Structure 1
Amino acid sequence: MKFHTQLKAKDIFKFSLAYTYSGVQAILTIFMLGVGAYMIVHGIGQPEGQTNIIFGAVVIALFVVINPLMIYVKAKKQAIENPVYKNPTYYTLRDDGIFVELGEESATIEWNRVYKITHFMGLTLLYTGKQQAFVFPDYELGDDREKMLDYMKEHIKEARKKAVQTQTDGGDISKYSKASTETEREETEVSESEVQENSEGEE
């Protein structure tokens, strides 16, 4: 299966939102919105509550309006200036991983390097690190989106099983080490037998 993507400013903006408002940042945002709402409610009806209302409104506006607006401006600038977004990126789903082609460069991303796949605001995000992800907009995947997602999830799951099995078995190195240990044990037993035979012969 093969498809291509060419991210637009709105796609970069959505991914930036997903990254910005996740993890600890998401908890902080919810907390600050709660603080802002509390200050507004607490300030209503109070003789000198106007300051609290204004401060609470500023806090909410900062996280709901100003910060997203700044993220969008940055995303739009990246879409215009970053050469990565000026040309389409081609992806081929294969058994050994995702073959990526961008211009004259190409590479294969093995399935065991993908640790998370999520869907956010019309984007399929294939994470290979906490800050690195391949972004696949739904409109680029088209009607084969579900088929491609099932294919990716199946191979990611299979790669994880193989990784766990390798760790359980101890990997190839452990197997060689085990075989080497058994060989040394056999050689030791042979040497001990020879010593005993030589001792009996001398007697």
Structure 2
Amino acid sequence: METVSKKITVNMNKKALTEFVLKSYYCKFSGIMSIFLGLGGLAFLIWNIMSDYPTMRNILLFGAVAVICLIINPATLIMKAKKQLSTNPSYKSPVTYELRPENLKISLGEESQELEWNNIYRLRESKNMVAVYTSPFHAFVIPTEELGEDRSIILSRFVQYTKEYRPRLSSGLKQYL
């Protein structure tokens, strides 16, 4: 494995941030229960409509549960990501990540922070983003389209540099072990 540092500069985009927000919510217990509750409401709505004696109260109740859980909740999360992208100052400027054998250096404008590899709790990769978690509630999100042709090199380095500390890896990153 190479020991030279690798530097990337990325700009946050809507696809990556939206995917991060949705995955963060729907991979937790509350998000999964929201899906089941919405599907249950939809099933009871259909069952009530097809019954011999449908009641307006049940149609409204189950319809409201289904709409809230399956339409309004994800739409709210998407709007939250869009608002975060437009209002958060850290998303307005490019962020530079320098992957070094000793640590990860993160720079935004004049500010920089060095993150030791053993402080990385989890690495999650998907189609549009890579999330570097430092705790269950805090992550640095890197849009994958910003990585370009260096994507596999960068992902490999993340996995190799953190391997001895055993962070949780998404299934797509396990190929780099």
Q: TM-score range by the shorter chain?
A: 0.7 to 0.9
Contact 1:8 1:79 in 2 (8 A): yes
TM-score, normalisation: structure 2: 0.81
Q: What's 1:29 paired with?
A: 34
Equivalent residues in 2 for 1:36-115, closer than 5 Å: 36-46=41-51, 47-115=53-121
Seen in structure 2, the aligned counterparts of structure 1 residues 28 and 75 have a Cα distance that, compared at 3 Å, is: same
- Partner of 2:27: helix, strand, or coil? coil
Q: Which has the higher helix share?
A: 1
Seen in structure 2, the aligned counterparts of structure 1 residues 98 and 68 have a Cα distance that, compared at 3 Å, is: same
Distance across 2 between alignment mates of 1:12 and 1:49: 42
Overall identity of the aligned pairs, in %: 33
Matched, 1:11 2:12: no
Q: Which has the higher strand share?
A: 2
Q: What's 1:138 paired with?
A: 144
- Partner of 1:44: helix, strand, or coil? helix
Of structures 1 and 2, the one scoring higher in RCO (CA 8 A, sep 6+) is 2
> C-alpha deviations, 1:128-153, integer Å up to 9, x for none?
11111111111011111111111111
Seen in structure 2, the aligned counterparts of structure 1 residues 132 and 10 have a Cα distance that, compared at 3 Å, is: same
Distance across 1 between alignment mates of 2:161 and 2:56: 58
TM-score, normalisation: structure 1: 0.72
Q: What's 1:20 paired with?
A: 25
- Partner of 2:135: helix, strand, or coil? coil
How many pairs align?
A: 161
Q: What's 2:161 paired with?
A: 155
Shift of 1:21: 1.5
**Two-structure CA RMSD over aligned residues (Å):** 2.0
Seen in structure 2, the aligned counterparts of structure 1 residues 120 and 65 have a Cα distance that, compared at 3 Å, is: farther
Distance across 2 between alignment mates of 1:35 and 1:160: 38
Contact 2:8 2:96 in 1 (8 A): yes
Q: What's 2:3 paired with?
A: none
